[in-house]
Structure 1
Amino acid sequence: MPGSSRIPISLRDTFNTVKRSRPVNPQQIFNLELFKNVLFFFFVVRIVRRTFWKLKGRGIIGTIVELYHDTRRVLYGYFLRAPGIRTQVRKQVTESLAKVQTKMIPAGGTRYLTLPKEGWTDEALRTELEALANMDHTRWEDGYVSGAVYHGEEDLIKLQTEAYGKFTVSNPIHPDVFPGVRKMEAEVVAMVLSMFHAPPKAAGVCTSGGTESILMACYSARQKAYAERGVTEPEMILPDTAHTAFRKAGDYFKIKIHLVPCPAPAYQVDVHRVSRLINSNTILLVGSAPNFPHGVIDDISTLSKLALKRRLPLHVDCCLGSFLVPFLDKAGFETEPFDFRLKGVTSISCDTHKYGFAPKGNSTVLYRSEELRTYQYFVSPDWSGGLYASPGIAGSRPGALIAGCWTSMMRVGEAGYIDACVKIVGCTKKIADHVVNSPTLGAELEIIGRPLVSVVAFTARNLDIYDIADGMNAKGWHLNALQNPPAVHVAVTLPITKVWERLVADLEAVIEAEREKERVRVVEGKGPKGKASGDTAALYGVAGSLPNKSIVVDLANGFLDLLYKA
């Protein structure tokens, strides 16, 4: 009948009888059960070990708080994806990006979206380049920009341009073709190692910037931990004020990040909490000298002792401090131990394109030994194109930038860098003193931590610090807005040293204007806090109030897209 088996009933019964009577091997059952039990045991051990590390590192209360914040963030993410809410959020993001686009991409003007049919004349190109160079922008030339442009004066720029012209086509990946570039790169690394009191066997590499230097130090630590200890689930511990490049390294190289608070009033990393978070998967400890947000130098001495005790690498990020921190003592300023003189420091990142005044695109990563540097190398011995080896992420690199860096260091020299340190750090201290001692600024602003280098950060006591930032923007200044806590900082450069008095005067004027706005709001019965009116206040006000930052991520992604919109 349809659907029935074609096997004769007699044969089918015989088959079932044989199957039922087949002897069962007890050894097979035992092996299967043993395998399942072992698998379950390792699963339980893994969970217990992770739970123990979590409780050890964060404590019971800290673990509960972290779980609460994680749950709140996830639930708020689901709320933002609800049909009606999602549409409204997308609309607001689109409107915000349209506003940014209007500012970034001026309407009208020419657009070059395809190659010209015929090449331009030299004169036409010079005219267009001049127009591009003079597009409306914040006047960094006049000292109105915090950080960003680390200017070494006009004469140095002319020399850098001349050096660049002599090595425009050079590429360090071909040392036999460009021996001069190889020589200059080796000498740049040697000079920076000397500045940081490196031991005889120390080594280093030139990179494209601070981010690549930090990435390479993290990658080297990861490879070292894998080669020497078999670590396959690497973790690193860093201050929550450490540069975001460490988080990028964690994302790129699949390294779990543990952030440690930097509590007031010192705003240095809590080394005790760092110690509690160390486990068998830890590959790297991190400190800053100084950090970017507040200009505070972490307690590197204590971190060094901890690194030695636990036999872990310690990286010190000196990208911002660069050519200032090594010369603080010689310039007559207070300093703290931070470099290779501390035995636990195994690597340092230093940007030559900041206060070394080299052209943008220059940095160095330094190691206590050549062996540590080797862990960042990439070698492909069996590629059909030949034996391939590169010291870092990049293959081909612009030798012209190395030439510009070498030229800068040889032109300025130690005496020049000490003089720059006197001017820049001295100006930073003048700004900090004025903030503390001015009746207007002292009543409203509070300095964060103890700034020893080129950055002075401050938060507001009664006013909205982001409204103050927007007020300074309206006066032509470009200062850095910070968060956690809400703050603003000034990273002093040589151009700022010439106009710092105007900066603090404008800051006083902005604070008086914000005070008046608050008084008007109270008189009109609107309460002490009004709706955020400026771009900075609006953005950071929203970002700080959201438990889930997906909206901010969408805005940032949209902003990055706009960078490539012709």
Structure 2
Amino acid sequence: MFDRDPEGTMSDFPYADRFPVHRTLPEQGRPREDLLAELTAMAAEEDAVWESGKISGTMYCGDHEHYAYLTEAFAKFAHVNALQRDMCPSQTKFEGEIIAMVLDLMHAEAVTGTRPGGLVTSGGTGSILHAILAYREYAAATRGISAAAGRLPNLVKPETAHPAFDKACHLFGIENRTVPVDPATTLVDPAVVAAAIDDNTIAIVGSAGNYPYGTIDPIAELGRIALDRGAGLHVDGCLGGFILPFGEELGYPVPAFDFRVPGVTSISADTHKYGYAFKGSSVVVFSDKAIRNAQYFHQVGWSGGKYMSPGMDGSRSGGLLAATWASMVHLGRDGYRAYARDIFATAEAMMATVRSHPELRIMGAPTFCFSFTSDAFDIYHVADFMKPRGWRFNGQQYPNAIHLAVTRPQTKACVLEAFSADLAEAVAYAREQQAAGRLAHSGAIYGGVIGGLTSEVEAVMTMIMDGMLDTQQSLPPARA
């Protein structure tokens, strides 16, 4: 039987042995102070997991003072619905300025002949979904590409591009043309992309950088192909959008990936990653508002009044807009640049540590986010050894590799020292396990390293999802 959590670090019924389990809505509410005490205890324990600095990605800021500041900004508008702009003009200010600042960061001034625009979304997946929906609708309106017209739209993307693109194709009835990447560089070959394009291609995709390896696809070459073939080019900067521009300013070899590149028509950038805002915020910007506007939704005949929506969401918390705006304006370019300096330096030092072991190999030529593998042993032996010491890497596959997105919690000197010492012991352990013919337990699942995926993968993944929805989000058995 598949063991989702063999080391017992994840409980199906967390806190059931310590705090009351609510099986029905209480007849009478519990005191606020009791509930806040429970929340405080849970938060403190969960914060301790990432405060060690041994967690890949996840907590990109890791600064409790900054979180407290954002919480204060959020609280002032948490009850506000961003949909009600007539009642809450603050949301127009916040959202407009967030979009304007991202357009500026992505060099929208380089765009000529059109007017750029953008949307604030609920996260990277939301930004990608909105972009691909916009391309589908725009291609239908301007090029006659639609299933109804007998022309099934298609999207061409590298294998390393985020699965949100696959989800978009699945949801919106778009043919997904995924092309391989070079196994040595981890980058997509523009010639392979060009060969996959036809008259029904609505857009192609490049990453800056991609999640698995942190490497940046050849955006300039992809831009030339997009222009030549009349397709859009979406650059997924969800991971790198708020750190690569500052790495470039610091002198790191970051190639242009934004609107300075002819052919780039949209970019996603997550404010809730290296933008250091709260989770649930991202921005997608377009070189031409006409593309963005294509995915607007209108229902003018509804009995409840004329309905219109600029994106897929309806009601949204004004608190997230306020906190995102507050983070960006408080940090400014200088603040982001200072944090980027620390992160790039830490990533370089960590990668140097990896390279000091002949058995280990960095995948491609990454910057702030990197992945490494081994040709001498199964790299998951390394993950197995380091997990009990608090390290939480993300597992990759094809080939097996482990990934670390360096964030602010890793920039403490003690974390680098621990990484160096623990990795040295992990390599020795991996050699021993490989020589003994033992199998590693860890495996590759987005957002973590979970073991046991050796066969019937789809059935196992379904079981994991069932566990999340039907077990972990259910209740423990009632006590007699």
Q: TM-score, normalised by structure 2?
A: 0.91
2:227 equivalent to 1:308: yes
- Runs (5+) with no aligned partner, structure 1: 1-91, 522-528
| Structure 1 residues 513-532: aligned runs within 5 Å | 513-519=429-435, 521=436, 529-532=437-440
Task: Give distance in 1, aligned partners of 2:220 and 2:345.
Answer: 25
SS of the aligned residue for 1:175 comes to coil
Amino acid paired to 2:190: V
Task: Give distance in 2, aligned partners of 1:304 and 1:178.
Answer: 40
Q: CA deviation at 1:145?
A: 0.7
Per the alignment, residue 444 of structure 1 pairs with 359
* Distance change (3 Å), C-alpha of 1:323 and 1:101: closer
Per the alignment, residue 352 of structure 1 pairs with 271
Q: CA deviation at 1:357?
A: 0.3
Q: CA deviation at 1:515?
A: 2.2
2:478 equivalent to 1:559: no
* Distance change (3 Å), C-alpha of 1:490 and 1:98: closer
Task: Give distance in 2, aligned partners of 1:292 and 1:194.
Answer: 24
Quick one: which of 206, 212, 216 aligns to 1:297? 216
Q: Deviations over 1:235-265 (max 9, x none)?
A: 1000000001001101111111111111122
SS of the aligned residue for 1:206 comes to strand
Task: Give distance in 1, aligned partners of 2:172 and 2:87.
Answer: 33
Q: CA deviation at 1:340?
A: 0.3
Per the alignment, residue 507 of structure 1 pairs with 423
* Distance change (3 Å), C-alpha of 1:383 and 1:97: farther
Amino acid paired to 1:277: A
* Distance change (3 Å), C-alpha of 1:533 and 1:407: closer
Report if the CA contact (8 A) 1:271-1:302 is conserved.
Answer: yes
Report if the CA contact (8 A) 1:467-1:536 is conserved.
Answer: no
Q: CA deviation at 1:370?
A: 1.2
Aligned length: 458
* Distance change (3 Å), C-alpha of 1:128 and 1:388: same
Q: Deviations over 1:369-418 (max 9, x none)?
A: 11111012111111111111111111001110000000001110100011
Q: CA deviation at 1:97?
A: 7.7
Task: Give distance in 2, aligned partners of 1:476 and 1:532.
Answer: 18
Q: CA deviation at 1:137?
A: 7.2
Per the alignment, residue 457 of structure 2 pairs with 549
SS of the aligned residue for 1:328 comes to helix
Amino acid paired to 1:115: L
Quick one: which of 338, 347, 350 aligns to 1:428? 347
**Alpha carbon RMSD of aligned pairs, Å?**
2.1
Amino acid paired to 2:474: K
Q: Which runs of 4+ in 1 moved over 6 A?
A: 97-102
Report which of the two structures shows the higher radius of gyration computed on alpha carbons. Answer: 1
* Distance change (3 Å), C-alpha of 1:533 and 1:229: closer
* Distance change (3 Å), C-alpha of 1:340 and 1:533: closer
Q: CA deviation at 1:552?
A: 3.0
Report if the CA contact (8 A) 1:156-1:411 is conserved.
Answer: no
Task: Give distance in 1, aligned partners of 2:404 and 2:201.
Answer: 34
Report if the CA contact (8 A) 2:383-2:393 is conserved.
Answer: yes
Quick one: which of 153, 166, 174 aligns to 2:63? 153
Per the alignment, residue 143 of structure 1 pairs with 53
Q: Deviations over 1:64-93 (max 9, x none)?
A: xxxxxxxxxxxxxxxxxxxxxxxxxxxx25
Report if the CA contact (8 A) 1:465-1:487 is conserved.
Answer: yes
Q: CA deviation at 1:474?
A: 1.2
* Distance change (3 Å), C-alpha of 1:516 and 1:427: same
SS of the aligned residue for 1:103 comes to coil
2:20 equivalent to 1:105: no
Task: Give distance in 1, aligned partners of 2:22 and 2:215.
Answer: 45
Report if the CA contact (8 A) 1:265-1:448 is conserved.
Answer: yes
Task: Give distance in 1, aligned partners of 2:153 and 2:341.
Answer: 42
Q: CA deviation at 1:132?
A: 2.1
Report if the CA contact (8 A) 2:371-2:402 is conserved.
Answer: yes
Per the alignment, residue 381 of structure 1 pairs with 300
Task: Give distance in 2, aligned partners of 1:316 and 1:478.
Answer: 28
Q: CA deviation at 1:313?
A: 0.3
Task: Give distance in 2, aligned partners of 1:325 and 1:505.
Answer: 29
Q: CA deviation at 1:555?
A: 2.8
- Runs (5+) with no aligned partner, structure 2: 147-151, 476-480
| Structure 1 residues 8-47: aligned runs within 5 Å | none
* Distance change (3 Å), C-alpha of 1:534 and 1:154: closer
| Structure 1 residues 487-498: aligned runs within 5 Å | 487-498=401-412
Report if the CA contact (8 A) 1:241-1:293 is conserved.
Answer: yes
Quick one: which of 18, 29, 42 aligns to 1:132? 42
Q: TM-score, normalised by structure 1?
A: 0.77
Task: Give distance in 2, aligned partners of 1:102 and 1:217.
Answer: 35
SS of the aligned residue for 1:500 comes to helix
Task: Give distance in 1, aligned partners of 2:45 and 2:450.
Answer: 28
Task: Give distance in 2, aligned partners of 1:366 and 1:536.
Answer: 31
